C-alpha cells in the first residue's frame, strides 16, 4: 500500500455522497427558515441583546453550514432559507400589521443578516481533494 492510499481523511465532517448532501442542504434550509423566524421575533423583543443574539444565531448557522459541507451552497442554502423567512415576515397584512417595526434594529437585522450570509458564502472553505479512485 502506498502512503497516499492510507492517508487519513481531511479534517471536517462533510457529506460525501450525493443523497447525503441533498439531505444536509434540506436540513440547512429548514434551519435557515427557523432561524430567520426566531431572529425576527427576538430582535425586536429584547432590543440590544435580542438583536445581537439573532445576528449571532444567523452567522453561526451560515458559518456552520459552510464548515459542515465545505462548499459555498453549505452557507448559501441556510442563507436563502433565512432570507425567505425574513421577507415573508416583512410583508404587511391587509389590516396593516407587520412584524418588523420601522426602526434601526429591524434594518440592522435585515441588512446584517444578508451581509453575513454573503460573507459566509464568499469565504466558504473548498472541499478537500479526493483521490481519483474514490467517487463523490
- Encode pLDDT of 81-130 as tens digits: 999 999 988 887 777 667 776 678 888 999 999 999 999 999 867 666 66
DSSP assignment letter at 132: T
Please state, in angstroms and rounded to a whole number, the distance separating the CA atoms of residues 136 and 120: 24
What does the pLDDT read at residue 135? 60
Mean pLDDT for the chain overall: 82
What does the pLDDT read at residue 85? 94
Position 5 confidence tier, pLDDT thresholds 50, 70, 90: very low
Domain spans, the chain: 18-90+102-124
What does the pLDDT read at residue 1? 46
Position 24 confidence tier, pLDDT thresholds 50, 70, 90: very high
Q: Tell me the Ramachandran region of residue 70: left when phi exceeds 0, alpha when psi lies from -120 to 50, beta otherwise.
A: left
For 75, the 3-state DSSP assignment is helix
Higher pLDDT, 44 or 8: 44
pTM of the model as a whole? 0.78
Q: Tell me the Ramachandran region of residue 109: left when phi exceeds 0, alpha when psi lies from -120 to 50, beta otherwise.
A: alpha
Amino acid at each position: 500500500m502506498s502512503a497516499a492510499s492510507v492517508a487519513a481523511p481531511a479534517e471536517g465532517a462533510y457529506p460525501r455522497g450525493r443523497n447525503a448532501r441533498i439531505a444536509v442542504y434540506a436540513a440547512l434550509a429548514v434551519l435557515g427558515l427557523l432561524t430567520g423566524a426566531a431572529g425576527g421575533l427576538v430582535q425586536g423583543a429584547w432590543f440590544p441583546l435580542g438583536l445581537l443574539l439573532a445576528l449571532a444565531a444567523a452567522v453561526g448557522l451560515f458559518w456552520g453550514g459552510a464548515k459542515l459541507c465545505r462548499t459555498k451552497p453549505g452557507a448559501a442554502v441556510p442563507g436563502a432559507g433565512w432570507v425567505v423567512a425574513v421577507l415573508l415576515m416583512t410583508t404587511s397584512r391587509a389590516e396593516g400589521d407587520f412584524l418588523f417595526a420601522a426602526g434601526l434594529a429591524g434594518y440592522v437585522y435585515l441588512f446584517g443578516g444578508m451581509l453575513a450570509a454573503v460573507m459566509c458564502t464568499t469565504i466558504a472553505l473548498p472541499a478537500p481533494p479526493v483521490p481519483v479512485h474514490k467517487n463523490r
